[in-house]
Structure formats: C-alpha cells, structure tokens
C-alpha cells in the first residue's frame, strides 16, 4: 500500500499520489494519461494533475488498483 510519507514531491497536491515504491512500469501513464507523467531524471511516475471529471477519477482509481507494486495512493483529500 502506498505511503503518504514516502510520496514523491513532484506529485501535485490532492488525493492521488505516487510514492517511492514506483518501478516505472508505465501502467498508470497508459491508464490515466491526463493525470500521470514520468519523471525522466528519476525514472518514476507522479500525479501532475488531480482528476477533474468522473472519467479521470475512474481512470486514476483503475491505475491505483492495477499498480503492480501498490505505489499509487489515495489519501481521500
């Protein structure tokens, strides 16, 4: 389970975040491309935009549920 204490600083504030367990598998960027980006220098994904619609919310939840290392969290904010 993702840990808010280990979230990457690149994440935009809001309920979804990526922590330091990310293995850069690309699943979240494929599933929710409007919300996740890759940090090319660090080799990990982060949330660059919190969901602004039901579709984006659904895609972020799908990315979180599909993450193979559970690096995506939802702090419920």
Domain boundaries, the chain: 4-74
Question: pLDDT tens digits for the chain (77 residues)?
Answer: 899 999 999 999 999 999 999 999 999 999 999 999 999 999 999 999 999 999 999 999 999 999 999 999 999 86
- Give the span between the Cα atoms of 57 and 43, in whole angstroms: 24
User: Bridge-partner residues for 72, per DSSP?
Assistant: 18
| Residue 16 CA: distances (Å) to CA of 11, 57 | 8, 10
pTM of the complete model:
0.95
Query: What are the tokens at 48?
Result: 């660059």
Let me know if domain 4-74 sits in CATH 3.30.70.20: yes
**Phi and psi at residue 54, to the nearest 5°:** -60, -40
pLDDT of residue 55: 98
Beta strands per DSSP E along the chain: 16-18, 36-39, 44-47, 72-74
């Amino acid at each position: 389970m993702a840990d808010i204490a280990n979230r990457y600083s690149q994440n935009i504030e809001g309920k979804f975040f990526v922590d330091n367990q990310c293995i850069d598998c690309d699943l979240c960027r494929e599933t929710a491309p409007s919300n996740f980006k890759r940090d090319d220098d660090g080799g990990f994904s982060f949330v660059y935009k919190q969901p602004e619609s039901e579709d984006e919310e659904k895609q972020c939840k799908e990315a979180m549920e599909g993450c193979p290392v559970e690096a995506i969290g939802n702090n419920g904010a």
